[in-house]
A and B are shown apart, each in its own frame.
Chain A
Amino acid sequence: ETLVISSWAPPTHVLNAEAYPAFIKLLEEVTNGEVTAELKLGLAPPPAQADLVMDGAADITHIFHGYTPGRYPAAELAELPGYQGGAEALSGAYWRAYEKYLKDTGMHQEFKLLALVAHGPATLFSVDKVNDLAAIRGMKVRVPGGVGSEVMAELGATGIQVPANKVYETLSAKAADGVTLNIDARQGFNLNEVAPYMYEVPGGFYRGSFAILMNRAKWDSLSPEVQKAIDEKITGETLSRLWGKIWDESDSRVHDEIPADNLVSASTTDVEAFKAISDVVSQSVFAKVEAATGLDAMEVRDFIAEQTVAIESEK
């Protein structure tokens, strides 16, 4: 059985170059070669991917929750700034929170959910050097949707909304002064050419939330043995952390390549100032999530934070 994976990231992006191949390798291993998968790029734009898999035009995809505002309110909890840990730790914690809280809200119940992933701390890449938090006020920043958009709005930036694959062109046309993305996006989207400077806060401006989804009927069509093997050895925390780990490694490789002159880390006062902003955004997200799902949002956030630290320390 060959499953079809639809991916919307650029061909050289770490997800296509490393994360999916690692997943396919795992799939072949645990099913003794009975199930494999192939990657199809660019079948449809990013926001269409979930529907694509739901209708069976592809079997598996990853979606970015922020592209479809309003549809996955609980996902914003994983995107909040301030979690202390890399993508692997947060993704593992995210999955644990799913098992404990989010599952009951019916999140992704129409799919076979394979993993939940949160990328590393998002930073600000800019055309001109940004030295402090105050400089962000008035900037035109390409925002991703979800928490990242709210944080930038709170910082006083004007949000520019274009899909991720148009980021390069938007910056080179000076339609935006900067973009907020996770670190390895610098390489994935060739940002070093158009937005060479980076400003970072500890824990990031936000963490992007993703899900790896599989078509329900396709899953049901697999033999019970294969399902069992996949569920025991891939689905859930394993795959979530595997992707997180690959992403962490890619982030740190790219971080090392950035010239010191191009990199600014937030000062102590700015870290404090950002904490206040992050609290404002968190409160608004809590209210939104509670209204939409009935969850005790702060409890979930605290659980994710605690599990992130736990996984980070046991690594």
Chain B
Amino acid sequence: MKVLKPVLSLAGFAETGAMLVSALSLFAMMLLTLTDVTTRSLFSAPVYGGAEVTQILLATSVFLAMPSISLRDGHVSVDLFDFLFPERIRSLRDAVISTGVGVALTWPAVVLVHHAQRSMSYNETTLFLQIPVFWILYLIAAGVAASAALLILRGLVLLIDGPDGAVALNDGAGGAQS
């Protein structure tokens, strides 16, 4: 844990920053929809390129929140068979899964970077506002890469600290509701 402490606090700092941007994008998305509907109804003129901006805000909001749920066990999972595993084994199992999934996730992150580079070479832009598409792809790639890194970090914490590590990490948790 001592070794990981500086890494963890750095990760926590980056997580908070990412979450703030994510939250602001979400709020902006809400206001943009409201503005769009209002101007559409009152002036028969929707916000120019509004859908494009909404799409970018959505990608930002979702992919900047992804690292946070990756670090803090916020992904939807089934803990039904937990009773089959003793506590110590359970955290070992979670450590292995988290690390493995994190390592696997670096792969699409790299491919996304390639796609971004490719898109840059094509001069691909959005239709109305002519925003270069590679920026959006880089942002998504960054979100995936950060999630991969934090899943691996979570795996390491669980490996070293066992169940206590899980408790410490999950303090800021928030998962899916249905």
A residues contacting B by CB (< 8 A) are 51, 68-71, 138, 140, 143, 145, 149, 158-162
Contact = CB atoms under 8 A, between A and B. Distances in A.
Contacts of B124: 68-71
A70 B126 CA distance: 9
B46 A140 contact: yes
A149 B52 CA distance: 15
Interface string B94-127: 0000000000000000000001001000111111
A280 B123 CA distance: 24
A162 B126 CA distance: 12
Interface of A is mostly: loop
Interface residues of B, number: 17
Contacts of B122: 68, 70-71
Contacts of A68: 122, 124
Given A51-B115, A51-B118, A71-B122, A158 B127 contact: no
Interface string B116-143: 0010001111111010000000000000
Nearest to A162: B51
Contacts of B130: 69-70
Given A51-B118, A69-B130, A160 B46 contact: yes
Given A51-B118, A140-B46, A159 B128 contact: yes
Interface of B is mostly: loop
Interface string B31-68: 00000000010001110100110000000000000000
Nearest to A146: B127
Contacts of B46: 140, 158, 160
16 contacts: A51-B118, A68-B124, A69-B125, A69-B126, A69-B127, A70-B122, A70-B123, A140-B40, A140-B46, A149-B127, A158-B46, A158-B48, A160-B46, A160-B51, A161-B127, A162-B51
A158 B45 contact: yes
A170 to B, nearest CB: 10
B127 A145 contact: yes
Nearest to A140: B46
A140 B123 CA distance: 28
Contacts of A160: 46, 51
Contacts of B115: 51
A161 B44 contact: no
A161 B118 contact: no
A143 B123 CA distance: 21
Nearest to A50: B122
Contacts of B52: 161
User: Across chains A and B, which 3 residue pairs bring their CB atoms closest together, nearest first?
Assistant: A70-B123, A71-B122, A70-B125
A298 B40 CA distance: 39
A284 to B, nearest CB: 14
B61 to A, nearest CB: 20
